[in-house]
Amino acid sequence: MSLQVVILAAGKGTRMRSALPKVMQPLAGKPLLQHVISTAKTLGANEPIVVYGHGGELVQQHFQHETVTWVLQAEQKGTGHAVQVALSSLPTSGNSLILYGDVPLISLPTLSRLVSSVSTDKDLGLLTVNLPNPTGYGRIVREENQVVAIVEQKDANADQLKINEVNTGIMCVPNVLLHEWLPALKNNNAQGEYYLTDLIALANQAGITISAVQPDTLWEVEGVNDKVQLAALERVWQQAQAANLMRAGVTILDPNRVDIRGELSHGADVSLDVGVIIEGRVVLADNVIVSAGCVLKDCEIGAGTLIKPYSVIDSAVIGANAQIGPFARIRPGSKLADEVHIGNFVETKATQMGVGSKANHLAYLGDSVIGQGVNIGAGTITCNYDGANKHTTVIGDNAFIGTNNSLVAPVTIGAGATTGAGSTISKDVAPDTLAVGRAKQVAISGWTRPKKTVKSST
């Protein structure tokens, strides 16, 4: 049967206390709604319907690249009303799966079981859980073990309030039943809302088989209403990511202190220390060690390379057996070959470095093409920007750049050349020559230091 997914996302999210709409709040580096849309698509529902209300423009703009049908629910009159406004976009056959923009971690295996519990128009699948503390949730009312109704907290009597089985809100319903019943929902309840959950009693009366399916884990049906819940779910998700990586052989020194906000591909014996953050697509080859506090985004790192603490690497490719950091900043377009050493407070941007080249302390290397076996002295800066345009610095193999040089681009330093400490190099240097570009030291004898003037107190 064809499957349509309807994602309810019109709620205000007041308790987030944020200018950002609730469904745009990030979990694992992606908006809550992105998780739900991706899950819907993996289930085979290629054009999910998103019922939106608040912050609609921003949300739609962000999801431009996704094929999604947007339905505006201008006024939030309840979950039944939310699905009702989507009715005109729903086919008359097949099933609809109702998901929530603020229940981001609902899993595929659970949803697959729920969806397959509905095989005819006489079935309805409901995802329920048993909670030790069911306060706030709609209670699942059973008679002779059959689900007959859902009663909301505010409408429940004392006996019903004791029921521990609750409604997650997620359900799979034949479209024909939605078309028939949604327009007829009444709002004569404690909240004056149109309840989607009223469908259950209607289905029971009509002799529909209601299957209560339970999720694989509790956290996947948890909703996010405030930042405490958001952080709690983030941790759950991160622990699951860490567990998967560890099962695949990655050493994680403390699985509570690593954040995977993208995709990590890895070889054997990769190690991640505490405080490591992975964003975008990161590829780590065999034996890569990522030390404490490193942020790695969209990068590829070769086998045996050591990333020392507190280094930030973004959109870069680093070869094998290199050493980076501590406190290195490798910016977009950096291509560092095997055995390159980058030390503390060194920044590279759009720079290539050949095999075995080193910049061990306090340098800025931007828009540079650096050969093999080059040594960049401490404090060296490529002056790549003239205020209007960027220019390239080229340094040949085995060149030796002295300490504290300013290399004024465009400039080429030949292979095997040497520059003196403190030089400002603004003209090309021929291979195998020494260039010194600095003022000569002078000696002034008998010079006296300025003295402090004594201020009168009048």
Residue nearest to ligand UD1 (CB): 138
Q: Which of 117, 197, 398, 423 binds ligand UD1 (CB under 6 A)?
A: 197
Range in contact with ligand UD1 (rule: CB under 6 A) among 124-132, 195-203, 252-260, 339-347: 195-203
Q: Does the protein bind ligand UD1 through residue 98 (CB under 6 A)? A: no
Smallest separation, CB 23 to ligand UD1 (Å)? 8
Minimum CB distance to ligand UD1, residue 32 (Å): 10
38-68 as b/e: b if 16+ CB within 10 A: ebbbebebeebbbbbbbbbeebeebbeebeb
Q: Which of 63, 100, 237, 364 binds ligand UD1 (CB under 6 A)?
A: 100
**In 10 A of CB 395, how many CB atoms?**
29
Judged by CB under 6 A, does residue 79 bind ligand UD1? Answer: yes
| The binder of ligand UD1 chosen from 63, 195, 237, 364 (CB under 6 A) | 195
Stretch that binds ligand UD1, among 163-171, 279-287, 314-322, 379-387 (CB under 6 A): 163-171
Nearer residue to ligand UD1 within complex by CB, 156 or 299? 156
Q: Which of 322, 256, 247, 254 lies closest to 284, judged by CA?
A: 322
What's the CA angle centered on 409, arms 404 and 413, to 5 degrees?
Answer: 70
Q: Tell the smallest beta-carbon distance from residue 218 to ligand UD1 (Å).
A: 13
CB 380 within 8 A of CB 404: yes
For residues 271 and 276, give the distance between their C-alpha atoms in angstroms, rounded to a whole number. Answer: 10
Q: Contact, 31 vs 124, CB < 8 A?
A: no
Q: DSSP per residue over 139-188, as a string?
A: EEEEETTEEEEEE-GGG--HHHHT--EEEEEEEEEEHHHHHHHGGG----
117 binds ligand UD1 (CB under 6 A): no
User: Which of 169, 319, 325, 366 contacts ligand UD1 by CB under 6 A?
Assistant: 169
What is the rounded distance in angstroms from the CA atom of residue 84 to the CA atom of residue 366? 57
Q: Does 237 sit near ligand UD1 (CB under 6 A)?
A: no
What tokens appear for 200 in the block?
């259950």
Integer Cα distance of 260 and 269 in angstroms: 18
Distance CA 362, CA 342 (A): 10
CB 150 to ligand UD1: min, Å: 5
Contact characters 2-21, ligand UD1, x per CB under 6 A: ------xxxx----------
Residue selected from 39, 95, 110, 167 as contacting ligand UD1 according to rule CB under 6 A: 167
- The DSSP symbol for 456 reads P
Q: Is there a contact between 311 and 326 (Cβ–Cβ < 8 Å)? A: yes
Element (H, E) at 71: strand 69-72
Q: Residue 73 interacts with ligand UD1 (CB under 6 A)? A: yes
Q: List the one residue from 29, 56, 223, 262 that touches ligand UD1 (CB under 6 A).
A: 223
Q: Which DSSP state fits 100? A: E
Could you say whether residue 150 binds ligand UD1 (CB under 6 A)? yes
For this structure, is 361 an active site residue? yes
Nearest approach, Cβ of residue 168 and ligand UD1 (Å) = 6
- Positions in 43-72 near ligand UD1 (CB under 6 A): 51
Residues at the contact surface with ligand UD1, assessed by CB under 6 A: 8-11, 51, 73, 76-79, 81-82, 100-102, 137-138, 150, 152, 166-169, 195-197, 223
Kindly list the catalytic residues: 361
